[in-house]
Amino acid sequence: GEDVEQSLFLSVREGDSSVINCTYTDSSSTYLYWYKQEPGAGLQLLTYIFSNMDMKQDQRLTVLLNKKDKHLSLRIADTQTGDSAIYFCAESGGYQKVTFGTGTKLQVIP
Amino acid sequence: DVKVTQSSRYLVKRTGEKVFLECVQDMDHENMFWYRQDPGLGLRLIYFSYDVKMKEKGDIPEGYSVSREKKERFSLILESASTNQTSMYLCASSSSVRTSGIYNEQFFGPGTRLTVL
Give the nearest partner residue to A44 out of B43, B59, B108, using CB atoms.
B108
Q: Does the beta-carbon distance from B104 to A98 stay under 8 Å?
A: yes
What are the respective helix, strand and coil percentages of chain A, to the nearest 5? 5, 55, 40
CA torsion through residues A35, B97, A32, A63, sign = negative
Contact A18, A71 (CB under 8 A): no
pLDDT of residue B100: 66
3-state secondary structure of A82: helix
Give the nearest partner residue to B103 out of A35, A94, A102, using CB atoms.
A94
Residue A102: its chain B contacts at CB < 8 A?
Answer: 40-42
pLDDT of residue A94: 65
Position B60, amino acid: I
| DSSP single-letter state for residue B99 | B
Q: How far is B12 from chain A (nearest CA, A)?
A: 17
List chain B residues with pLDDT less than 70: 1-2, 98-101
Who's near B29: CB < 8 A, 6+ residues apart?
Answer: B71, B93, B94, B95, B96, B107
Strands of chain B (E only): list them.
Answer: 4-6, 10-13, 19-25, 31-38, 42-49, 56-57, 65-70, 73-78, 87-94, 107-108, 112-116
Contact B24, B73 (CB under 8 A): yes
| DSSP single-letter state for residue B27 | S
Position B31, amino acid: N
Q: Does the beta-carbon distance from B90 to A43 stay under 8 Å?
A: yes
Instruction: Return the exposure string of A36-60: e unless at least 16 CB atoms fall within 10 Å of the residue's CB, then b.
Output: bbeeeebbebbbbbebeeeeeeeee
pLDDT of residue A26: 80
Phi, psi of A81, rounded to the nearest 5 degrees: -60, -30
Residue B111: its chain A contacts at CB < 8 A?
Answer: 41-42
Q: Does the beta-carbon distance from A100 to B111 stay under 8 Å?
A: no
pLDDT 10s per residue in chain A (110 long)? 568 999 999 999 999 999 999 999 887 778 899 999 999 889 999 999 988 889 999 999 999 999 999 999 999 999 999 999 999 999 987 667 889 999 999 999 99
Closest CA to A9 of A17, A20, A1: A20
Report the residue of A28, A43, A51 to disrupt the B interface, i.e. the one with the largest count of B CBs within 10 Å: A43
